[in-house]
A and B are shown apart, each in its own frame.
Chain A
Amino acid sequence: MSRAVESDLVERLLDGEHRALARAITKIESQSPGYRDIVSELHAHTGDASVVGITGSPGAGKSTLVDKLAKHYRDQGETVGVIAVDPSSPYTGGAVLGDRIRMASNVGDMDVFFRSMSARGQLGGLSTATADAVKALDAFGKDRIIIETVGAGQNEVDVVKTADTVVVLVQPGSGDDVQMLKAGILEIGDVFVVNKADMEGASRTVAELQEMIHLRDDPRANLDTGHHGAAAFDDAGHGHDGHGGHADTGDTADTETDDSADDPPVWTPQVLETVATTGEGIDELVETLDDHRDYLDASGELAEKARKRAGEEIRQLLRSDVNRLLEAELDRRGGVEEFAEAVVEKETDPYAVAEDVLEPLRECLDDRDD
């Protein structure tokens, strides 16, 4: 695989060739030789897209909602990229990826680029693959990028955190969803959506969510500390009219322009209702997403998030690279089994082996005098 092939692919991608974009994502997903050069070259062309992550339990209506969101953005004249990650598939072996079935509103529209991804072979690396695929879409020129993933565990949380704005989707009266929220999903949500609002129990679920968010954001809610800046926002945010309250997020942006330097804008997570099948509530959702984007901009959090993500990417890459170096070194020395045997036989111990294998690397780094 020559570097020229990668450059050609990148060039065609930047030229707007759909097939090149598709192939770049394939290389990223399968981490085939040369994929790093591709991502490296793409990096300089990224940063213009707004990235929304949508998570929730299976069947909550994520894919249906993504389809409607994509339609909305298309109607506004924007181009859309979707990465639908289905991590429920086993790490090895086959999978049926079902998210694409819900794509019905953008028939044959090439300006909605939809890509299904499995968890294949990338234990822990799924978020890296997703982030890189998002970069490809971004560099291609997509205005809006949506990541769909099942909210199930740490792996999925990492995936959705590659987005700027995280939407958590729940369905009315679902015990599963409450469990999911307790398992760390509540913390990452910027916008909460009770989908299937046409079904019974929706308003109760909205109320429950608001309660949970309130506790989340202000653990001392009942202690009344007299610290009013954020609390005031809180009340305006979701106290009374329940859902669809973006007026207050408008305020959020205003606060920023109002000079109050030591009173930075605050985001209070919104709870909205949608019926994804009919498109009801999509307008409000889009507005809220835009509000959140404005908030990220105004508060400086967008830049902060980007820095954090970059730091995390660097660490993740280094971890996997060093890991690979050490695996190769282990193999060169006869493989881990041989060492393991020696450890069991009490000829050596795990610490001594690790030290021994790591030694050349450590020496090499220590000897550098720069």
Chain B
Amino acid sequence: MSADSEQRTIRCLIAKVGLDGHDRGAHVISRAFRDAGFEVIYSGLHRAPDEIIQATVQEDVDVLGISILSGAHNTLVPKVMAGLEEYGALDDTLVIVGGIIPEEDRPALFEEGVDAIFGPGTPMQETIDFVKEHAPERP
């Protein structure tokens, strides 16, 4: 087939961090992203921030989607962000968070560099459109 493929595929990592065992949402998102034509790598449950950093850097994903329902987002998300920064992956990775994130915690996460937060009830299309629109241009 034609070699220099023009149409680019959006690569995403859907990550479950920490002791959080709620994985339904992550699966729902993974499938929806796949159906939207994205390439999805699912981390599996109970990943340490270091593993998420390693995967994001190595897989060179356009989008890192972190799913957290455990309430530990305030400690886990900053760790991941710091790691991405260390490996020069923060600037060109779109970071989105989903799950149970109370309104009052959100400003601090945005401050950390999170690009968007999608809680329960967000229409799936809204999430997909956001990703399509904001997935970083790769040089």
Q: Report which A residues bind B (CB closer than 8 A).
A: 1, 5, 17-19, 21-23, 25-26, 30-33, 89, 92-98, 100-101, 103, 107-110, 113-116, 118, 120-125, 320-321, 324, 327
Q: 10 new A-B pairs (CB below 8 Å) besides A23-B138, A93-B37?
A: A23-B60, A32-B138, A94-B38, A95-B39, A103-B51, A107-B48, A107-B50, A120-B5, A320-B3, A327-B2
Across the interface, which residues of A come within 8 angstroms of B55, CB to CB?
A: 100, 114
Closest to B9 in A: A120
Q: Which residues of B contact A89 (CB under 8 A)?
A: 39
Partner of B39, one of A25, A94, A320: A94
Structural contact, B42 and A101, CB atoms closer than 8 A: yes
A18 touches B57 (CB 8 A): yes
In the complex, how many residues of chain B place their beta carbon closer than 8 angstroms to a beta carbon of chain A?
37
- Cα A124 to Cα B41 in complex, Å, equals 23
Known: A18-B87, A94-B35, A95-B34. A121 touches B1 (CB 8 A): yes
Query: Could you mark each residue 100-139 of chain B with 1 if its beta carbon is under 8 Å from any beta carbon of chain A, else 0?
Result: 0000000000000000000000000000000000000011
Q: Contact between B60 and A25 (Cβ–Cβ < 8 Å)? A: yes
CB–CB B2/A324 < 8 A: yes
Interface readout for B1-39 with A: 1 if CB under 8 Å, 0 if not? 111110111000000000000000000001101111111
Is B53 in contact with chain A by the CB < 8 A criterion? yes
Complex contact A19–B139 (CB within 8 A):
no
**In whole angstroms, what is the CA distance A369 to B43 when docked?**
58
Partner of A94, one of B7, B33, B59: B33
**CB < 8 Å neighbour of A19 from B9, B39, B41, B57:** B57
Say whether, besides A25-B60, A94-B36, A19 and B1 are in contact (CB < 8 Å).
Answer: no
Which residue of chain B lies nearest to A102 when distances are taken between CB atoms in the complex?
B44
Q: How far is the CA of A53 from the CA of B81 in the complex (A)?
A: 34
B37 contact from A33, A94, A109, A324, Cβ within 8 A: A94
> Quick one: which of A18, A100, A110 contacts B43, CB cutoff 8 A?
A100
Give CA–CA (A115, B41) in the complex, Å: 10
Output the least CB separation between A4 and chain B (Å): 12
Chain B residue numbers with a CB within 8 Å of A113 are 58
Assess the B59–A115 pair: CB atoms within 8 A: yes
Q: Is the CB of B87 within 8 A of A19?
A: yes
Task: List B residues 34-73 near A (Cβ within 8 Å).
Answer: 34-44, 48, 50-51, 53-55, 57-60
Q: Is B89 on the interface with A (CB-CB < 8 A)?
A: yes
Tell me the bound Cα distance from A96 to B59 in angstroms. 13
What 8 A-B pairs have minimum CB-CB distances, sorted nearest first?
Answer: A108-B50, A94-B34, A101-B44, A22-B60, A121-B5, A26-B60, A19-B88, A94-B37
| Given A107-B51, A108-B51, also A101-B43 (CB < 8 A) | yes
